[in-house]
Structure 1
Amino acid sequence: MADLPDSPPQFSSRKAKILEQLQLPDTDYTDASPKGSVDEGIKELIAEINAYDGFVTTSSCAGRVSVFLEGVKADSGPSSDPDEEPESRVPNQVASSGGKGGGGKWLFVSHDPLDRSEGSSDATSSGNHWRDQFALPAVDGAAMESMCSISAGSCRPRLIHFKFEPMILHILTASLAHAQLAIKCGLQGGFRESGALNLVPGSSSHAVTPMVAIRSMGLGFESMIGIEQVDGQRYCTVAPEYIAALVTLANEHFAENQRRIQRFREALKESMQGQVKLNKDGMAWEDAAARRERKRAEGLRRREQLRQSQRPATEDPDT
């Protein structure tokens, strides 16, 4: 059972606005996540968190497997991250081509395990199936020559990556106590890199409302699987059996990710059961209806005590 302070007014106001946005249909709603909407796999979790006083989710990703083309690398800077570019709203589809920064873009995104039945139990056939889904033909001689000069000059080919990322969840909290509780539950669930920002108030007139990130970087992995030449032609540079192995590994990580989500969910639910909120004086907080009921019961009890005290004493009859 968690003893948590009441939410400050500025938090309650912001939470109300966020919840209002969540009521919109997916076509109209956008949050701070790359996809811009809540994934089906964690909608129930999001609803549970937002039902607790002192917590509200601001962005989320249930976990995903993606194939992405890195941006054009500047001589002195890293490649652009496709997280800057919104995902396609439809899972397992080629994403929109408009990129930011150096032009990095999503080629394929799925928030669900990749269906092995769509390919074949044979690793080669399965790998070829997914290579076709990623629109990456097998490498030819010219592309292989480009790979050999990958580190030379400004016209080097751009790399294509296969990546799995576990759930990440950002939760705005009403106080340090709320943030500590969310982080504790995240760690219990296996999201070992969970943490918080905004632990110091921006001004003396504002309460601290930390932003918590529930995440586990250790569950993710990434591998290069192809290149895009300077003429825009893309190729797969690994064997189909390797693609099949990556798909199998991603599905295994999806399963572990789901187990961790469930552990986090259960830890938070257990911590919030019988929640006792405290007011500014550190006393147990109660809403107006509960206070009215308590006052009514106290009044009835005092009235009965008064009636009993005013009743004349009676003697027991002789026996």
Structure 2
Amino acid sequence: MSKQPKPLPHPSQNFTQRKTKILSQLSVPEEEYTDLSPKGSVDVGIRDLIDEINARDGLVTTSSCAGRVSVYLEGPCKSTTSATASNEDDEAGVRSSSAGGKGGGEWLFVSHDPISTLSVELEKGYEGLFGLRPLQGREGEEQEEGRMVHFKFEPMILHVLTASHSHAQKVIQAGMEAGFRETGAVSLLSRQDEDHNPIVAVRSMGLSFESLIGVEDGAGTRKAVVGSGYLNRVVNNSEKLFKENEKRIGRFREALKAAFEEGSKKKEGWEDADARRERKRLEGLRRKEELQRQKEVETKAGDDGVQSSLEVILEPPEVL
């Protein structure tokens, strides 16, 4: 007999209260809902996924981003030699960046959809879309000091509050299977405390992409430091990353559904070791019976052939 999976613990009162509070905030009409992220609301691209997660006992999302492309001007307190912006998500539901406000930086462009879908905005060209003056001269010639302008693609990231270590492990398993390789618990105690609710971050740094594309000089003029051809390449790369990100989100939805399927961890078409052994045994018996029947048919056919030959030889010749 195959071993039945251990049932998940029942969510504690503390978790239930926290989930109720979070869901009450998400139930606000979309036109009225705001958070501290640049967009200010839950991304349409993963709204169905968020609803599916929040419908499960023992899970509730605390922050989310479907994936985005952004252009930002780093803050004055940030080293101009750094090519990486600090991104942190907290339980309040925000994805923030030092380049987006904490360090005095400024978002020049943010989209949670591929840039190719922004037909009206694209009429201004990439430089105009990103708020940059086109490159003057050749790439690499401008060595002007100033705050750098970054182009960045970030894949989906979710923070999921879980009712127990067991719930957290299932979310981590689903994230890893879907390709979000850096998925893990960001709030986890070593003891199995029923009042402890681990937070799982579903994320993948492997899909992230960043490039320096501009600079703001001392006069406040924002200039591109790369040509139109280079901007076209980084935008095309972000389009490919959006597509891969969408595939992984789909895989995560299926993996999460399979991980929390009632009474079993089985995926469609999967069988445990005992079931596989029984199937192989029955298949072996069927093959043995088929071979036996085939042998009997061949033997009978051979006997009939010999008998017919003897009848021809022993039959007396016709009298003419």
User: Is the pair's TM-score, using the shorter chain for normalization, greater than 0.5?
Assistant: yes
Contact 2:80 2:147 in 1 (8 A): no
Query: Is 1:66 aligned to residue 70 of structure 2?
Result: yes
Shift of 1:129: 1.4
Query: Is 1:21 aligned to residue 16 of structure 2?
Result: no
Shift of 1:29: 2.7
Shift of 1:114: 1.3
Shift of 1:46: 0.1
Contact 1:80 1:102 in 2 (8 A): no
Larger-gyration structure (1/2) = 2
Alignment of 1:142-181 (within 5 A): 147-149=142-144, 156-181=145-170
Q: Output the CA distance in 1 between the equivalents of 2:117 and 2:56.
A: 38
In structure 1, the residue corresponding to 2:72 is in which secondary structure?
A: strand
In structure 2, the residue corresponding to 1:56 is in which secondary structure?
A: strand
Q: Output the CA distance in 2 between the equivalents of 1:162 and 1:216.
A: 18
Q: How has the CA–CA distance of structure 1 residues 245 and 10 changed in structure 2, closer, same or farther, with 3 Å as cutoff?
A: same
Q: Deviations over 1:160-201 (max 9, x none)?
A: 011000000000000000001000000000000001022118
Contact 1:73 1:80 in 2 (8 A): no
Instruction: Read off the aligned partner of 2:143 and give its amino acid letter.
Output: C
Q: TM-score, normalised by structure 1?
A: 0.69
Aligned equivalent of 1:136: 132
In structure 2, the residue corresponding to 1:170 is in which secondary structure?
A: strand
Which one is further off, 128-137 or 228-237? Answer: 128-137
Structure 1 residue ranges, 4+ long, deviating more than 6 angstroms after superposition: 75-80
Q: How has the CA–CA distance of structure 1 residues 212 and 205 changed in structure 2, closer, same or farther, with 3 Å as cutoff?
A: closer
Structure 2: stretches of 5+ with no match in the other structure:
90-98, 265-320
Q: Output the CA distance in 1 between the equivalents of 2:47 and 2:180.
A: 19
Shift of 1:139: 2.9
Shift of 1:208: 1.7
Q: How has the CA–CA distance of structure 1 residues 79 and 166 changed in structure 2, closer, same or farther, with 3 Å as cutoff?
A: closer
Q: Output the CA distance in 2 between the equivalents of 1:2 and 1:107.
A: 50
Aligned equivalent of 1:305: none
Count of matched residue positions in the alignment of Structure 1 and Structure 2:
249
Aligned equivalent of 1:118: 119
Which one is further off, 69-78 or 188-197? Answer: 69-78
Query: Is 1:190 aligned to residue 179 of structure 2?
Result: yes
Contact 2:140 2:226 in 1 (8 A): no
Q: Output the CA distance in 1 between the equivalents of 2:125 and 2:31.
A: 31
Q: Output the CA distance in 2 between the equivalents of 1:3 and 1:84.
A: 33
In structure 2, the residue corresponding to 1:4 is in which secondary structure?
A: coil
Q: Output the CA distance in 2 between the equivalents of 1:22 and 1:140.
A: 47
Instruction: Read off the aligned partner of 2:135 and give its amino acid letter.
Output: V
Shift of 1:66: 0.4
Instruction: Read off the aligned partner of 1:261 and give its amino acid letter.
Output: I
Q: Deviations over 1:194-250 (max 9, x none)?
A: 010221189x98622000000000101000000001111101111101111111110
Instruction: Read off the aligned partner of 2:186 and give its amino acid letter.
Output: L
Contact 1:167 1:257 in 2 (8 A): yes
Aligned equivalent of 1:152: none
Identity over aligned residues, as a percent?
49
Q: Deviations over 1:47-105 (max 9, x none)?
A: 000000000000000000000001113679979958589xxxxxxxxxxxx96343111
Query: Is 1:233 aligned to residue 246 of structure 2?
Result: no
Contact 1:80 1:100 in 2 (8 A): no
Q: Output the CA distance in 2 between the equivalents of 1:244 and 1:76.
A: 24
Structure 1: stretches of 5+ with no match in the other structure:
86-97, 120-125, 150-155, 277-319
CA RMSD of aligned residues (A): 3.2
Alignment of 1:1-319 (within 5 A): 3-31=7-35, 33=37, 35-73=39-77, 81=85, 100-115=101-116, 118=119, 129-140=125-136, 147-149=142-144, 156-200=145-189, 207-275=195-263
In structure 2, the residue corresponding to 1:3 is in which secondary structure?
A: coil
Q: Output the CA distance in 2 between the equivalents of 1:238 and 1:44.
A: 39
In structure 2, the residue corresponding to 1:115 is in which secondary structure?
A: helix
Instruction: Read off the aligned partner of 1:219 and give its amino acid letter.
Output: L
Higher relative contact order (CA 8 A, sep 6+): 1
Q: How has the CA–CA distance of structure 1 residues 77 and 12 changed in structure 2, closer, same or farther, with 3 Å as cutoff?
A: farther
Q: Output the CA distance in 2 between the equivalents of 1:129 and 1:2.
A: 57
Q: Output the CA distance in 2 between the equivalents of 1:251 and 1:117.
A: 12
Q: Output the CA distance in 2 between the equivalents of 1:3 and 1:244.
A: 52
